[in-house]
Amino acid sequence: MCPSDGRSREVAVTSNSVSVVDYGLANLYSVLRAFKEIGVDATVVSDPQAVLQSERLVIPGVGSFEACMNELRRRGLDDAVLGFIQTGRPVLGICVGMQILFGESLEFGVWHGLDHLPGQVRSIRELHQDHESLRVPHIGWSELLNPADQISAPHSVVEPAIAAAETLYFVHSFVAVPENRQHVVAECEYEGRRLCAAVCDKNVIGVQFHPERSGKAGLRLLERFLLC
């Protein structure tokens, strides 16, 4: 678990401290470069056994939910990721890498995810009252906010960004809708609507935004993940 107060502390990192899952679709270069900027040579893992032997696991994501899950299953990485989660070691899901943690997605069909978190991934347009005029995708910089209902406290990875009113980079047309509001640890606002921006369940944290494309604020968030 991460330190609850969000304060910085020294952490020893090695070349295998962070493993980034390669399932053939994600933006590996951007994620690896971001970790390099904070002094970590992250390791790319594409073999199920290598996933299970990791210290910390990052699941990046670009593209469709369906394509990501199909590739994970084809390579035997879906069970490996779930097995890694069960070890209690830290996991960070980014964008679609966060969405696939949920039970299913309604992205142009019905697609089954890893089902670690109960809930659906649904269209932003569908969730908005004035959906016909809503601009999608949500592209750009948005501030992280405390969950509106305050059921759960912000996770230590995102809490400092909320306190400092930092903005992170988003690009997505679909958004997670967790069944359990306690899993929501940060939100953002888009066109007057609150959207889930980060979720947490014990050792697993998922973010809808791209820390690897969010400048210094994103790098600070990745540094805090190393404290988990």
Q: Which of 198, 191, 193, 188 is nearest to 221 (CA)?
A: 198
Measured CA to CA, the distance from residue 143 to residue 15 in angstroms comes to: 32
Choosing from 95, 188, 196, 200, the catalytic residue is 95
Choosing from 159, 166, 187, 212, the catalytic residue is 212
Residue type, 159: E
Question: Which whole-number Å values give the CA distances from 34 to 50, 66, 209, in the listed order?
Answer: 21, 26, 14
Measured CA to CA, the distance from residue 32 to residue 24 in angstroms comes to: 15
86: left (phi over 0), alpha (psi -120 to 50) or beta: alpha
For 84-105, the DSSP string reads HHHTT--EEEETHHHHTTEEEE
Q: With beta carbons less than 8 A apart as the criterion, state whether 31 and 61 touch.
A: no
Choosing from 138, 155, 183, 210, the catalytic residue is 210
Per the annotation, the verdict on 196 as an active-site residue is: no
The number of beta carbons lying within 10 Å of the beta carbon of residue 15 is 9
Per the annotation, the verdict on 159 as an active-site residue is: no
Task: Return the structure tokens found at 30.
Answer: 């951007």
Per the annotation, the verdict on 131 as an active-site residue is: no
Measured CA to CA, the distance from residue 43 to residue 57 in angstroms comes to: 10
Measured CA to CA, the distance from residue 218 to residue 34 in angstroms comes to: 9
Q: Give the catalytic positions in this structure.
A: 95, 210, 212
